[in-house]
């Protein structure tokens, strides 16, 4: 299930207030997104997730197609919030927003980490502890996806407003 949120969700707002003390960034593998997303999502029992855009630079064709498939209209295709239920739907939503190079924050539930991606094709995983971060990023690294060494996404500024 996929639907539009009319107001800010508490999970999104909580992560905007406190994004996590540790982070790791990867190059978004646009040519291998399905395998990347399977690697990220497989070990976690996510029930739903919340996505909020920060910036849509290019026309979001993949996302608009996904929304049309679910007969969902967004008032503003450049700024919106969505809730998604089910691991398959989460994968489809993330696939669409990553292909469209949308700047977004995604918080899965239960929350093990948060994702921030940008139109520069970087995807950052935030977690509250090094242990939580390693639980997701070690699998991504072992799968051969490219780490961006020493990249620190600011924890303040436009993405957390």
| Beta carbons of 20 and 128 less than 8 angstroms apart | yes
- Please, which contacts does 74-81 make with residues 24 or more away whose CB atoms are closer than 8 Å? 74/4, 78/53, 79/53, 80/4, 80/52, 80/53, 81/4, 81/5, 81/7, 81/8, 81/9, 81/12, 81/50, 81/51, 81/52, 81/53
Half-sphere exposure of residue 50: CA atoms within 13 angstroms, side-chain side:
20
pLDDT at residue 148 greater than cutoff 70: yes
Higher-pLDDT residue of 74 and 17 is 74
Q: Which of 50, 109, 60 is closest to 82 using CA atoms?
A: 50
Higher-pLDDT residue of 160 and 105 is 105
What is the DSSP annotation of 144-160?
TPPB-TT----SSSGGG
Query: What's the pLDDT tens digit per position in 83-135?
Result: 999 999 999 999 999 999 999 999 998 888 899 999 999 999 999 899 999 99
| Beta carbons of 93 and 49 less than 8 angstroms apart | yes
pLDDT at residue number 111: 82
| For range 7-16, the mean pLDDT | 58
Q: What percent of the chain has pLDDT over 90?
A: 54
| Beta carbons of 126 and 132 less than 8 angstroms apart | no
Q: Is the dihedral of CA 89, 110, 30, 42 positive or negative?
A: negative
The domain total for the chain is 1
pLDDT at residue number 57: 86
Its pTM stands at 0.87
Domain region containing 44: 2-160
Q: What percent of the chain has pLDDT over 70?
A: 86
């Amino acid at each position: 299930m996929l639907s539009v949120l009319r107001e800010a969700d508490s999970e999104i707002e909580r992560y905007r207030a406190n994004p996590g003390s540790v982070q790791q960034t990867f190059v978004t593998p646009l040519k291998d997104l399905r395998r990347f997303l399977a690697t990220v999502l497989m070990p976690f029992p996510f029930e739903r997730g919340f996505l909020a855009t920060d910036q849509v630079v290019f026309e979001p064709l993949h996302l608009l197609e996904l929304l049309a498939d679910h007969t969902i209209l967004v008032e503003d295709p450049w700024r919106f919030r969505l809730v998604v239920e089910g691991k398959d739907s989460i994968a489809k939503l993330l696939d669409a927003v990553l292909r469209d190079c949308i700047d977004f924050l995604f918080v899965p539930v239960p929350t093990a980490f948060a994702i921030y991606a940008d139109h520069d094709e970087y995807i950052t995983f935030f977690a509250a502890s090094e242990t939580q971060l390693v639980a997701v990023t070690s699998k991504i690294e072992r799968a051969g996806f490219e780490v961006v060494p020493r990249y620190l996404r600011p924890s303040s500024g436009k993405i957390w407003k």
